[in-house]
Structure formats: structure tokens, C-alpha cells
Amino acid sequence: MLDFCCDYKNGAHPAVLARLAETNSQTTGTYGFDEYSDAAKEKIKAACKAKDADVFFIAGGTQTNMTVISSCLQPYEGVVAASTGHINCHEAGAVEHSGYKVLALPHHDGKVDANELEAYLKDFEENPSRDHMVFPAMLYISYPTEYGTIYKKEELSDLRRVCDKYGLTVFLDGARLGYGLTSPECDIDLPFLAGICDVFYIGGTKVGALCGEAVVFPKGAPAHFITMVKQRGAMLAKSRVLGVQFDALFTDGLYFKIAKNGIDRAYELKAAFERKGYKFYIDSPTNQQFIVLDEKTLARLEKKVNFEVWEKTADGCTVVRFATSWSTTKEEITELYKLL
């Protein structure tokens, strides 16, 4: 059966797996101090044009969000996010379990609006009860968002300006960063992100790795970050497993090449649905496409293809998600088209 459920249903990109095999019998350092992690860090710093950056590899996304957020905030601080942000919805309360409040703002197709953020921060600053409230101290945004949308360069610059004005750090969740940066609508790149974020991560799990996310602190990490990584259980003993994979992904631009495949297939998929007259829930320029299905079509399609049910609409239809990935083939899109 065709499967467009998500972008982490296959193994690793063959080149990544090959690199794991090639290096398998070597003896290396551990706990982040292995030569492959070192090499991968250098390649990522070069790709970001951020020579003072600190880079760390962590096995998964929720773990990364939880570790970064709880390591950067003071106890009296919280993290601002869109109501639809992954940390606010689908991480089982990992941020709160670590002791921190997610301060949710309304979302606009998954995005935070700079003016609304500024109004919120101004209100907080002027609130006579603010010492009894959680201090907004970090902005969490996803790129692409949970709805597949991406911020324009100007939107990101506006958010940064507001954060600077009110003293917030900026953390960008790049679980699907590759699919954002290779979208035809994208007007930014890694060096831009490194310039605008205090910390962000480059997602590997969804872009060709077996597992792994690369956390980048362009201006340097908090003191003793690795001890906090250990404390949150987020340090792999055999750290080479992540190092080797990111070394492969950042050799000869592999990461972007394979992400681009996900985007090319997504645009073909989008065109397929359009041609067949389907209605889109949102206009997504990345590898997640949200389609509105009536009951009958839903029933018909789910017998032949796997996709994810997202939410119900007021009029009884269902929003579903079709995701392409680095491993999606042109053939799969052709087959899908026949089924629509």
C-alpha cells in the first residue's frame, strides 16, 4: 500500500547507511567526543558560516526541544510559541515536565505574528502583576511550521527585532529544516538562520538519518550544556552513531539534495491533487500537504493509501496530511494520482 503518512517511515538514506557501515569496525571516542562528531560539527559550522558556533547531536526532536529549552531558561521564565507549536501540542508536556510554561500565542497557518508578539510582550512589561507571572524569555518557532508553512525573511527579521527589544532569545525548531530551506518559496539559508537565532536545530530524523538532530548555538552554548544533555538522558554513549550520519549528510550537500527530492515530489503531489480538483486546507510550500476530504472520499482513499488524519472541519469534512520525503519516488506520485 502507498504510504504518505509521514517523513520518517523509511530507514536512512543509502549514503548515510553506507557511511555507518564503512566506519563500523573503527574504534572511536564516546559521549560526543568522537572524530566523526567533530568532523560533522566542523561541516555544519562551515555550512552555517558560524565559526564560533557550538554544535551538539541529540537523538530526537522532543528530546532536543526539552533539553534546549530547559537549559536556556531561568526558573521564572517561559517560552512563547504558536498555539500549534509542536512543544505546545504533541510532546506530551515535556517542556512543562521540565518545569517551564509554554506561553501560547494565536497561530496564523502555524506562524507567530511579530505584531501580536510585540503586543503581548508590551502588555507583559506594563502589567503591574508581572512579578506574579511567567516571564516570556524565549521565542520558539518552527521552520517549516507544523502546517508546512515557512516564514519569509522579513517575518523572521521582524520577530528577531521584537525579541531583541524585549530581551527574548530565539529558538528555531528545524525538525524538517531541509524541506523548508529547499522550498521554492524559501528566501533564507543556514547562515541567515545562524545570524538570527540564538539556537536552532537541523533535523536529521526526517531528512535521511536513522535518528539525530544537530543543535546549533551560533554564539556559543550555555555553560555546561553537555552535563545538562546528560542529565536529560539525551547523550548517546556511542555518539559516533549521530556524528557519522551528520558527517555524511553534510558532505557534498547531501542534506539539501535529498531534502529537495521531498520538495519536488511534494509539488508533484500538490499538482496531482489540484488537477483532480481537491481542496487544500492550507497553502503549504513544503513537504507536508493538507487536503480537505469529504466523508466519502476519505473512506475511499484510506483503503488504498496511508495518510494521516489531522482534524475535523466544522462542516463534517476531514483535514488529512500527505507527507513526501527524501525517499519518495516519482512512481509513488504517479500511482497516487491514479487513485485520486
Q: Phi, psi (5° rounding) for residue 108?
A: -125, 100
Q: Specify whether the CB–CB gap between 88 and 57 falls below 8 A.
A: no
Smallest separation, CB 188 to a copy of itself (Å): 25
Q: Which is nearer to a copy of itself, 271 or 339 (CB)?
A: 339
Torsion angle defined by CA atoms of residues 57, 73, 50 and 181, in that order, rounded to the nearest 10 degrees: 70
Smallest separation, CB 210 to a copy of itself (Å): 5
Tell me which residue has cell 529558538: 171
Torsion angle defined by CA atoms of residues 311, 316, 317 and 320, in that order, rounded to the nearest 10 degrees: 20
Give the Cα separation of 32 and 38 in Å (integer). 8
Q: How far apart are the first and last CA of the chain?
A: 14
Q: Which is nearer to a copy of itself, 97 or 165 (CB)?
A: 97
Q: Which is nearer to a copy of itself, 287 or 327 (CB)?
A: 327
Smallest separation, CB 278 to a copy of itself (Å): 21
Q: Which amino acid is it at 183?
A: S
Smallest separation, CB 223 to a copy of itself (Å): 8
Q: Which is nearer to a copy of itself, 47 or 168 (CB)?
A: 168
Smallest separation, CB 139 to a copy of itself (Å): 17
Q: Which is nearer to a copy of itself, 27 or 115 (CB)?
A: 27
Helix (H, G, I), strand (E, B) or coil at 193: helix
